[in-house]
Amino acid sequence: MSHTYPLKRLAVIASVLSYTLILSACATHNTEDEHTVYAPGLGEFMAQISTRHIKLWYAGDAENWQLADYELEEIHEGLDDLAKYHPTHDKIKGSIPNMIAVYMKAPLEQTEAAIKVKNVGAFRAGYDSLTTACNSCHQANNFGFNVIARPSGNPFTNQSFQTQL
């Protein structure tokens, strides 16, 4: 008789514990869901790409080829991520990976080649074709009112675009 009471207590503790475990498992599951569903929207990707487009200009203009190469690569990665997370979009007529290949591939390669040979004139020409390509995709998607241009003033005064090495 003396040891039935502790056994009952053990059973109660066990059931409370399993209930707590189930609750915490549910809580963890919900948090994970919230994290996995978020992906930046098309406009957010564009705003990032546009920032890199400005920085690319100031890096190339200062003949800081290492930085120019980095910024161009960031534009490339931004476009790759855009294609991955939004293969289609209600604002884009057709496949986004396809449009990026059609409009962006050649000017990206042209700019990359200019950076590799460290030629500022070729860089400017590559940069202008890249900018024209941005606008061609905007025009093809009823977004021609958003016009991209060579930047005319550097908004990133907290970053030095001059070569440091």
Applying CB under 6 A, which residues contact ligand HEC? 41-43, 46-47, 49-50, 53, 75, 91-92, 96, 99-100, 103-104, 130, 134, 137-138, 141, 143, 146, 148
Phi and psi dihedrals of 121, rounded to 5? -65, -45
Q: Output the smallest distance, CB 116 to ligand HEC, in A.
A: 19
Nearer to ligand HEC, 49 or 68 (CB): 49
Find out whether 151 and 161 touch, Cβ atoms under 8 Å: no
CB of 92 to ligand HEC, least distance (A): 5
* Phi, psi dihedral angles at 119 (to 5 degrees): -115, 115
Taking the alpha carbons of 20, 26, 31, 36 in that order, is the dihedral positive or negative? positive
The Cα 82–Cα 88 span in angstroms is: 10
Count of beta carbons in the 10 Å neighbourhood of residue 67: 22
Closest to ligand HEC by CB, 10 or 149: 149
The residue (of 23 and 41) whose beta carbon lies closer to ligand HEC is 41
Min separation Cβ 70 and ligand HEC, Å: 15
CB of 146 to ligand HEC, least distance (A): 5
Closer CB to ligand HEC, residue 32 or residue 44?
44
Sign of the dihedral defined by the CA atoms of residues 59, 61, 66, 71, in that order = positive
